[in-house]
Amino acid sequence: MDLVKFVNEQTPKNALPTFNPGDTVTVHYKIKEGAKERIQQYQGVVIQRNGVGANETFTVRKVSNSIGVERIFPVNSPNIDKLEVNSRGAVRRAKLYYLRGLTGKKARIKEKRGSY
């Protein structure tokens, strides 16, 4: 198993700011259309982080036109151009699946106080 770990460690890491479940982030994601490349922004709440190495992912949830949208990004994907942390959320669990059942004012997350 150590040798699989070795291969995982060879994956180039993205230099992203630290972020946790509950944080609101903006992901700048490179999209290739034929030969052209453009950058798309996607803003929402991080509801989970999962895996290690090349398999490490995080899920960002947002509500678009009253429809919940969740998008899974690989943390170390070369296609992530930039990640901004817009606000830090004060949450009590690692996986915020409960947000899926909530809408409107109930779906808000309290902002963490203090400096990080």
Partner 1 sequence: MSGIIGKKVGMTSVYNAEGKNIPCTVIQAGPCVVTQVKTVEIDGYASVQLAYDEKKDKNTSKPMKGHFAKANTTAKKKLVEFKKFNDAKTIGEVITAELFVEGDLIDVVGTSKGKGFQGVVKRHGFAGVGGQTHGQHNRLRAPGSLGASSWPSKVFKGMRMAGRMGGDRVKVQNLQILKVYPEQNLLVVSGSIPGAKGSYVILEK
Residues engaged in binding partner 1 (CB under 8 A)? 1, 3-4, 6-8, 10-12, 30, 32, 53-55, 74, 76-79
> CA-CA distance, 91 to 109, in Å (whole number)?
7
- Chain Cα centroid distance, residue 90: 16
CA trace torsion 95, 100, 103, 109 (10° rounding): 10
CA 86, CA 112: separation in Å to the nearest integer?
Answer: 12
Nearer to partner 1, 32 or 113 (CB): 32
Q: Return the number of the residue (13 or 110) whose C-beta is nearest partner 1.
A: 13
Name the minimum Å distance from CB 42 to partner 1: 16
Closer Cβ to partner 1, 70 or 109, answer by number: 70
For the CB of residue 60, give the shortest distance to partner 1 in the complex, in Å: 17
CB of 95 to partner 1, least distance (A): 22
| Pick 12 or 114: Cβ nearer partner 1 | 12
Alpha-carbon span 53 to 76, nearest angstrom:
7
Please give the sequence-ordered ranges of beta strands (E in DSSP) within the chain, or none if there are none. Answer: 24-33, 36-50, 57-64, 67-74, 80-87
Minimum Å gap between C-beta 26 and partner 1 is: 19
